[in-house]
Amino acid sequence: MIYPKHIVYSLEALAYLASPPENKYIKAQDVASKLHIPRHFLGKVLTDLVKKRLVMSIKGPSGGFALAANSANISIYRILTKLGGLEKLEDSCVMGLSECTEESPCALHDLWTDFREKTISKTQKLTLEEFSQTFMNKLQSVK
């Protein structure tokens, strides 16, 4: 797993909330059950997503969680940026060197630069709506 669990669970929860019917408030226990995420951990994840303004929440019997914006208007890049999932990709040397530049590259610098640029470009183009469709199809096929 490349990302820590909280980022993976955040992406999964967002994908689930983006699946039809979008904009409907869904209870945390329903998300936890469908995605097989420990309920307590998911509660922390959803609270973090609310703080980052990716998700809205309403308390009470008819409450739950919903996306804060239309999934077609949210890029995976934006989500990963808000979750801190691109910091190492954008700012770090793949070999862990403190200085890795065009003038003083590590052994994998060119390969890593190409990978980084492609990953950033693809995640900027990939919407949560598209990601959700793929994720939900895979989730259905696992059943």
Q: Could you tell me what percent of the chain has a pLDDT over 90?
A: 69
Domain range 1-74+128-143, CATH class: mainly alpha
Contact 74, 81 (CB under 8 A): no
Residue 66: pLDDT above 90?
yes
Instruction: Name the pTM for this structure.
Output: 0.87
pLDDT of residue 116: 87
Q: Region 133-142: what's the mean pLDDT? A: 88
Give the whole-angstrom CA distance, residue 68 versus residue 50.
Answer: 8
Residue 143: pLDDT above 70?
no
Phi, psi dihedrals of residue 106, rounded to the nearest 5°: -80, 175
Concatenated DSSP letters of 54-100: SEEEE-STT-EEEESS-GGG-BHHHHHHHHT-SHHHHH--TT--S--
Q: Region 96-122: what's the mean pLDDT? A: 90
Domain range summary for the chain, segments of one domain joined by +: 1-74+128-143, 75-126
pLDDT of residue 46: 97
What pLDDT, in 10s, does the model give residues 11-62? 999 999 999 776 689 999 999 999 999 999 999 999 999 999 999 999 988 8
What pLDDT, in 10s, does the model give residues 26-38? 999 999 999 999 9
